[in-house]
Structure 1
Amino acid sequence: GDTARTIKFDIVSGSGRHITPRLSQQLNQLEGNFVVTQAHLRNLVINGTYARAAVDTVTTHRAVRTLDHSISLQITDLTGPRGKRFDLSRKISGTISGHVSAYATFQSGSGYGERNIERDFTIVIGDGKANINIGGETFEGEVQTGEIVD
């Protein structure tokens, strides 16, 4: 047939700004590189990297919260069916690992607080479940609903 065996997808760059009366979002970085292999078979495999950085500010009449954050992902052997996606959450498997970094500030009246957050994480997906390890803590989630169950 004429079906591709390998597909390459690159997000070269991205930026943008969204402003409402209470929310400001500034996208500073967006890039990704993905390779889909076995695209001609029943189950395809995705590997790649993704990075995003942004600053979000929420302003109310009493407080301002700013979050300067970034995330980097490594997608390893994320496998799933091609074609029909009925009950897809139970048909995918693979690993997503990465790092999240954030600097949060909060100001309300004369009060001020700040916090630096650095976390490595790994998500292992299979049988409809996502086993999540972030900063040494482990959780289990349902892929279909996104709910944490443990």
Structure 2
Amino acid sequence: MERVAALQSLPRPAVVHRPTLDENLTWRRPAPGWIKINFDASVRRSIAAFGLVARDEDVKVLAATTLAPVMMQSAGLSEALCLRWATWLSIDLGFRTVCFETDSLQLFPWWRRRSRGHSYLDLIISDCRSLSFSFKNMDVSCVRRSGNSAADFLA
């Protein structure tokens, strides 16, 4: 109970929700002071694999990793779990100003929604929103697959 009260008293991080798909076809460097984290999930024969690449404004790779195999049937659920994994990893690495990028046209609208349901996707997105308190600034955007190719390759 004390932990919940302590979390509620923390200042809210600046969370940006971009309304549309980024039309840029290639990867773009993050703004100064930001770390861009591209992540992606891939599902084949009920096995999901996750990929993540974190880069700074100088395009220096700060982290690149994969996680596999995870038994999964739904691509949307895999992408949501990948976002939660990327969020935890970013917290563990000490990143404080982050821009998460996905190419999932299914996940991004779920992230933007304000209503809360009781589906697995809603619960995972709710976890990610709770974890966002660990960041000073957090941005989630959707880019074309060609702008997310490094994470796509790792997945």
TM-score interval w.r.t. the shorter chain?
A: under 0.3
Higher relative contact order (CA 8 A, sep 6+): 2
Instruction: Provide the TM-score with structure 1 as the length reference.
Output: 0.27
Instruction: Provide the TM-score with structure 2 as the length reference.
Output: 0.26
* Structure label with greater radius of gyration: 1
Which structure features the higher share of helix residues? 2
Which structure features the higher share of strand residues? 1
